[in-house]
Chain A
Amino acid sequence: MSTESGLHSPGDEYRLLPTRRHFFGRSAVGIGTAALASLTSRSGWAQPNDAIKPRDAGVLTQYHHPPKAKRVIYMFQSGAPSQQELFDYKPALQQHERKELKDFVDMNQRITSMTAGQSSFPLAGTRYKFAKHGACAMELGSELLPHISTLADDICLIRSMHTEAINHDPAITFFQTGHQLAGRPSIGSWLHYGLGSMNENLPTFIAMVSRGTGRPNCQPLYDRLWGSGFLPSSYAGVKLMSIGDPVLYLGNPAGLNASARRRMLDDLEKLNQQKLEENGDPEINTRIQQYELAYRMQTSVPNLTDFSDEPQHVLDAYGPDVLNRGTYAYNCLLARRLAERDVRFIQLFHMGWDQHFTLPEQLPGQCRDTDQPSAALVNDLKQRGMLDDTLIVWGGEFGRTSYCQGTLDAQTYGRDHHPRCFSLWLAGAGIRKGLSYGSTDEFCYNITENPVHVHDLHATMMHLLGIDHERLTYKFQGRYYRLTDVHGHVVNDILT
């Protein structure tokens, strides 16, 4: 592939051709077409669709470097899963149970006002078993995550994530937009803006929400998490609904069947065409096309959400909730179906991971919701050969404290927010397999090796998608904004 930097040889370019064809093959209006036009003119690679004006091409006319990932499935665990129970085993916490954290570490951090008033910060060890998994011997909280633990040799676990925010709203907004305050575009919006759409009858960025059974009354979410910020609203994520029409206003009104709708659209096009001829405003032509696209969505979405073509063993793999709309399992299977349909950025949000108190009552439910379906999704993609060009991300917005919030006993202990270190895992396109990356001190307070900031994660994600995060910018209020603000480094260590 031709790039501005010319980082690779003609041999590489040849090797990438089939991938490229796969990238662009499905759609005449995808990202593709603009990039394709520039490529074909160089390689003499003629394509009958060249003449079609890309309607939803991205702002980038070509990748900054060859992409590894074609799409992203981001399984966001909202509320912040406890790394001490799931990913980052700390026997020292059990050893020193009930002793004061400040006796071991210099507690210079900000503490939320929820526990700032505590007179004591006693260490709380996990109640759950960890074990080493896979050929790579990755240590995971397999008592709570038995299925994800089987993925050890496929994933890269980062134990050294860190962030700046200490409350949910700023932290999750930061994870989604690179900024703690509302107003900036989310990751998926940036990608849509940069790379355009790969398909012609579904949105490019889809968000799905599910409620945790471990803690059903939980931290809420908000539309701006998949919003487009200062980018035009057409780049906003489309939230698939778990009640009513999956896409808002998708269904025809009662009494208007498909043939009635078709007739309406035919006459609408005629009338809009008349107006176009009379007036000449090109927006009218765009409007005509958008109505047709809407009509195609009306037929493609029901097909998307109809699981009747899934074999039983696939349904079984995702677990008992897979047919219950609105569950995490359902959303995981839907994510795979969206990925197959060339949706570029698919993001699941599972709520309820905020275990301040009674962690042992809440956490197992959260894990049951997500463990099997998350693993099933990765395996399903793998079996279909799609894991190679799909980037998987699994994690929350910050970590949890090693000291106890609430009463410290086996059933009631809980953990407050901890932004200084936490865990998150990645898998798929371009990600090294079976790698445990970064580490924290024995009290899970500070990072001791290879810190990965949220901006670094964003930079790395964009890198895998063929984008130099410093070069995808949007001018707003006189400034060139980017997802990573003025920060972020690609974490090359975790890349193949």
Chain B
Amino acid sequence: MAIPSDATEYITVSESPMIVQIPCSKIVRTVRRTGIAISGVAFVIALTLPSRPLLAGKSDEPIDFNAQIAPILSDRCFHCHGPDAVDQESNFRADSKESLFADLGGYSAVVPGDLNASEIHKRIRSVDPDLQMPPPHSQRSLTEAEKTLLDRWIEQGASYQGHWSFELPIRPDVPVAAVREAATSAGWDPALVARWLQNPIDVFVAQKLLEQQLSPASEAAPATMLRRASLTLTGLLPSTELQQRWSANATEETYDFAIEELLNSMAYAERQTLRWLDAARYADTDGYQVDFERTNWPWRDWVIQAYLNNMPFDQFTIEQIAGDMLPGATESQQLASAFNRNHRQNAEGGALPEEFFVENVIDRVETTSTVFLGLTVGCARCHDHKYDPLSQREFYQMFGYFNNIGENGFGRGLDANPTLKTVSPLSTVEPQWVPTARAAEQNLEIAKQGLAQRLQDWIAEQDAPKSDAGDAQPSDLPSSSADDLKVVPIVDEVTLDQRIGSIFAKPSGKRTSEDHETLRQHYETIDQPLKVAKDALDVANQELLKHNSPLVTVMVMRERDGDPLPSYLLQRGQYDQPVTTEVLPRGVPTALLLDGETQPRNRLEFARWLVSRNNPLTARVTVNRIWQEHFGTGLVKTTEDFGMQGEQPSHRELLDWLAVEFVESGWNVKALQKLIVTSAAYRQASQTTDRQLAIDPENRWLSHGPRFRVDGFVIRDLALQASGLLVEKPGGPSVKPYQPDGLWAVIAADIAIDYQVGQGADLYRKSMYGYWKRAVNPPQQTIFDAGGREVCNVRVRRTNTPLQALALMNDPTFVESARRLAERVLKLPRLSDEQRINELVRLALSRECDAAMMVILQDNLNFFREHFATEPTAAEQLLSIGTSPRDNYLNATEHAALTATAHLILNLDEFMSIE
């Protein structure tokens, strides 16, 4: 870390209840020795430092270096005075404590407590363009508020700390007493206070709310609350049965049961997996321009199973990063390692294998770092990182963990070793069929091995009789080497036989290569060992296919035998510019290691280090990503970047508490989810007041419940669920739902390459199973902000565009869903219009229809009833959309009208929003 253990630095907290001066190095050492366990001394400091909004506060409030000063230094100074050792314009380093306080030749950048002696103060206040820092032309100029902060920091003694996320998280005490007192004196209702002191999450959130002079919102209505939890946990509405149970008896206890039920559902596992697929850049094709199909989906099913079984996150990590290297690695563990084989694979004619091998390895380093460490190491590919303590050399030391699998950098993914032939872990096929199929494949390979020799023997045999007795007639040929007469010559065979015959009629020396090819092809159809092996394989495969789980090739990790491939620093990140004078030892950035901690020697040790107690990042980063799923934004908004340039956490203590809790719970993912969704903060109503919007437009202080649009996957799934069309079958090969015609063809290499829409149940599977082609992403998802799965993506983005409106209004998926939703309601016995509308709303929105909405919807239904009565053809047309069957006994006018009303409901902002 940045702070050496022998330095003595003082954190001064003035004007606060306690004035503390503690050598900073002592804190750091304490932290390092005790790991994640609570450290009393350090914690006093953490709690005594009140938090405050960035760049605000009164002049006498103590400055928090990490929250207020470090971001300025990083953003405005590091580019030229930072970790990038090569591109430095001067020796001065603003990222180094030594440099900041060093004697620079009669003066120092920072003299604690002495503004006028501090060079930084002079430079930032200078109006001389030659002296001013940052230079006027740099576009990194400081605002007045930032200059004031720097000045105040110096005046207050210039306390210095290492970057917060590189320090091990320490579980803070939950400030129950302080919050009780503050909330009570702020006038919170005693019941509210009591409620917000139960879950540690709420105590930390309440602490911030009180500081901001905000108060929590009331609890969301029961139906809203359950819908929200169901959506953020499972991506689906709660089942009708669960809704009914809950609405009949909504208590703390039944909420708890409901959450357990959701957490134990397959939908939960599928939803969590979908988000992991984005992080893991999973796709069904290779990417780049040729974009061949690949079959890594058994890995996707491995992830589903892991979430379903609540596999501890440390195990989940180790198996995916290095499952292949675990002692006696099981097939499941080998399959898990496909996480790092979901990279793109280039097969463009003319591409150089060495070049794209390097790209593949770098992709692994970047993906692993982003997903687990929240670090943007990619910057260090070409030069030392500008902001974070990560050198280019260290980047290529990490490269060394991932470059040793003997892969082919060029060609289709399916052929880019290493691979594993396997089936989906979710397969329901009887287990013996998998080894049977695999053995049959091996037998087939064996049969093929002897084929060349048998072919030669056969040809020799055919040639021989001619000289002996000349009795070989062409028509005898197929059965000449087979006793089994099942091979009945048909008409084509005869002509083929004639061709074969004419070949054998030639002297062997006169046969062309085409002749030999014809003979080879023919022989393969009559070779007995081959035929036996193929038949056996067919039987096994048919059994597997019956269960939708063919044996397929998955790209996995597998270390090469022998010495590891050397890793070199690549100048400017270029594959053809290695610095071969030094073989780099494998290693992680030393800034992330404890003093004296040894470097992980291989990928397995690296994986274990990721989830070790000595790793300051993985738990925080993971907790933050899960938090983002529930609240729409992470505690650290920059989910992908916990480095110097990332955003400071809105609730640092809460994040650390959750991280430690997560680790100490045994990396229990479901427990963490439950902790979050049972919190009062999560369960608040989402209504927003003007004051809240003015003070906190992004709701980072959580003064009301989350409200945000769901992604395109969920929108489609919800429509299918409401309509009853959703096929809840987990796993298996990816499927192809409706997609506008020609999307693939117009930009494909050959116009004949087009998307073949699936049939039957395939059209109604969950969106997460939709085929993901990298060159042409499914528009239903990208229109709603899905990433392209080219590279790792962990941040959720949400736009609000007219193309989204067009998709929801006109995509046949939603029209068909509306038709089936209407049909579902019309088939209920003898309902009034009002009751029908209420059913539509209940099925689509998971709540009862209120009076104001009822007025509009009834009016809408009446309008369309009249409309379709006068336009019967239009009614028929509307009811013909989608391939699912229609109940022709229903009155077409009624059905079309209710379809239109249902379609309206599927377009409501509420329908697509978590609220």
Contact = CB atoms under 8 A, between A and B. Distances in A.
Contact of A112 (B351, B779, B805, B874): B351
A91 interface: no
Contacts of A470: 139
Contacts of A223: 747, 775-777, 782, 788
Contact of B908 (A261, A268, A351): A268
11 contacts: A182-B788, A219-B289, A224-B775, A234-B799, A248-B807, A274-B856, A279-B915, A281-B707, A281-B913, A287-B805, A478-B643
Given A182-B287, A274-B853, A294-B802, A220 B775 contact: yes
A48 interface: no
B909 A287 contact: yes
B730 interface: no
Contact of B346 (A169, A183, A251, A477): A169
Contact of B775 (A222, A261, A275, A280): A222
B174 interface: no
B30 interface: no
Interface in A199-242: 203, 209, 211, 216-224, 227, 232-234, 236, 238, 241-242
Given A255-B874, A281-B688, A249 B881 contact: no
Contacts of B709: 283
Interface string A277-302: 01111111011101101100110000
A267 B909 contact: no
A243 interface: yes
Contacts of A68: none
Contacts of B779: 248-249
Interface string A89-100: 000000000000
Contact of B693 (A216, A241, A282): A282
A437 to B, nearest CB: 28
A272 B797 contact: no
Given A168-B348, A255-B879, A256-B874, A275 B803 contact: no
Interface in B700-720: 707-709
Contacts of A293: 802, 805
A167 interface: yes
A255 B878 contact: yes
B912 to A, nearest CB: 9
Interface string B890-912: 00000010001001100111100
A220 B748 contact: yes
Contacts of B806: 247-250, 294, 297-298
A280 B691 CA distance: 11
Given A267-B860, A293-B802, A478-B387, A209 B809 contact: no
Contacts of B693: 280, 282
B877 interface: yes
A243 B349 contact: no
Interface stretch (B142-150, B330-338, B412-420, B738-746): B738-746
Contacts of A477: 370, 376, 378-379, 638, 640-641, 645
A271 B896 contact: no
B908 A255 contact: no
A-B pairs, 10 with minimum CB distance: A478-B645, A255-B878, A112-B350, A243-B742, A255-B877, A294-B805, A280-B688, A222-B775, A477-B376, A221-B747
B809 A261 contact: yes
A114 interface: yes
B875 interface: yes
A209 B640 CA distance: 34
Nearest to A478: B645
A254 B878 CA distance: 6
Interface stretch (B183-191, B534-542, B810-818): B810-818
Contacts of B643: 478
B515 interface: no
Contacts of B689: 280
B644 A478 contact: yes
Interface string B725-753: 00000000000000011110111111100
A6 interface: no
A183 B789 CA distance: 10
Interface residues of A, number: 85
Nearest to A416: B350
B324 to A, nearest CB: 26
B792 to A, nearest CB: 10
Contacts of A251: 810
Contact of A233 (B376, B410, B797, B910): B797
B740 A478 contact: no
A138 to B, nearest CB: 32
Nearest to B791: A183
A15 interface: no
Contacts of A271: 853, 856-857, 904, 908
A314 interface: no
Interface of A: 110, 112-115, 166-169, 181-183, 203, 209, 211, 216-224, 227, 232-234, 236, 238, 241-245, 247-257, 259-261, 263-264, 267-268, 270-272, 274-275, 278-284, 286-288, 290-291, 293-294, 297-298, 326, 349, 351, 416-417, 470-471, 475, 477-479
Chain A binding surface SS class: loop
Query: Which of B410, B686, B747, B750 counts the most chain A CB atoms within 10 A?
Result: B747
Contacts, number: 264
Contacts of A283: 707-709, 800, 909, 913
Given A217-B749, A251-B810, A233 B783 contact: yes
Interface string B858-886: 01100110010001011111111100000
B350 A290 contact: no
A254 B880 contact: yes
A42 B879 CA distance: 58
A253 B852 CA distance: 28
Contact of B788 (A167, A203, A227): A227
A219 to B, nearest CB: 6
Contacts of B811: 249
Interface of B: 139, 287-291, 344, 346, 348-353, 359, 370, 376, 378-379, 386-388, 410, 576, 638, 640-641, 643-646, 686-690, 693, 707-709, 740-743, 745-751, 774-777, 779, 782-783, 785, 788, 790-791, 797, 799-807, 809-812, 815, 852-853, 856-857, 859-860, 863-864, 867, 871, 873-881, 896, 900, 903-904, 907-910, 913, 915
Residue of B287, B741, B908 with highest tally of chain A CB at under 10 A: B908
A384 B437 CA distance: 70
A255 B810 CA distance: 11
A241 B353 CA distance: 35
Contacts of A217: 749-750
A220 B744 CA distance: 10
Contacts of B903: 264
Contacts of B790: 182-183, 224
Nearest to B875: A255
Q: Which of the listed residues A218, A227, A279, A470 has the most CB atoms from chain B within 10 Å of its own CB?
A: A279
Contacts of B359: 181
Contact of B349 (A114, A248, A249, A256): A114
A248 B806 CA distance: 8
B775 A264 contact: no
A113 B409 CA distance: 13
The CB with the most chain A CB atoms within 10 A, among B291, B352, B779, is that of B352
Given A168-B348, A247-B806, A268 B907 contact: yes
A250 B810 contact: yes
B688 A279 contact: yes
A454 B86 CA distance: 26
A232 B348 contact: no
B785 A224 contact: no
Nearest to A111: B350
A224 B717 CA distance: 26
A479 B908 contact: no
B908 A272 contact: yes
Contact of B707 (A182, A247, A274, A279): A279
B346 A264 contact: no
